[in-house]
Amino acid sequence: MLALYGHLFSSYTWKALIALYANGTHFEFRALDQDHLDNGAFVAAASPQGLFPVLVDGTETVIEASSIVEYLHLNHRGPAPLLPDDPVEAIRTRMIDRLFDNYIMGIMQQSVFEAIRTSGNPDPEVLAAVAAKLDRSYAWLDAWLAEYLMTDRITLIECAAAPSLFYADWVHQIPEQFARLRAWRAHLLALPPVKRCVDDARQFRHYFPLGAPDRD
């Protein structure tokens, strides 16, 4: 059986979980916490920086959330079309995946790291810089959504977008002028595989360094 090592409050763990849930793939979740220190030791050895999620499939170990989704697409297919079979379309899908990781989640995490560094008293200039960068990414995505159909499908794009937009909106709420992006975020959070991740993570919200908003 497949085993996924991660944490239920982790955005990148969600990315892998969404793919697994969307296809009804049987797997064992191995939590990283104080009650399962052996799981943390395994991840520390599996990844260059001890980062999760990590997927184990027999003798195969896969690190990095995007690679895990691609591995599931190739080896454990289900009804959810995680990646297009057309190679050019697959490149476009991977491009948007990297955009969410680098230009939404990566930027959002700068504010989280600042809050951790300052014990909950982040520099307002750092937060303002993060907000400005996110607004630029939000604008790009809102324009891109004019050509991207909002359906119930789960692909690598949805696996990346849902957790990224979920947490980024906590840090800097998507402005009203980006109506398509706001609507898509709400649509993503209502999809059953995503909703399951959101609900399972509720117990950990008090850990969010900037304070979790009373919504979602």
For CA atoms 50, 167, 175, 148, the dihedral sign is positive
Q: Cα separation of 190 and 206, whole Å?
A: 22
Bridge partners (DSSP) of residue 31 are 6
What backbone torsions phi and psi does residue 84 show, to the nearest 5 degrees?
Answer: -70, 150
- What value does the mean pLDDT of the chain take? 97
Q: Please give the share of the chain, as a percent, with pLDDT higher than 70.
A: 100
Q: What is the pLDDT of residue 1?
A: 85
Each residue's pLDDT tens digit, 13-38: 999 999 999 999 999 999 999 999 99
pTM for the model stands at: 0.96
| pLDDT tens, position by position, 99-157 | 999 999 999 999 999 999 999 999 999 999 999 999 999 999 999 999 999 999 999 99
DSSP characters over 4-47: EEE-TT-HHHHHHHHHHHHTT--EEEEE-STT-HHHHHHHHHHS
* Residue 104 β-bridge partners: none
Query: What pLDDT, on a 0 to 100 scale, did the predictor assign at position 62?
Result: 98
Domains of the chain with bracketed CATH: 2-75 (3.40.30.10), 87-200 (1.20.1050.10)
Is 168's pLDDT higher than 90? yes
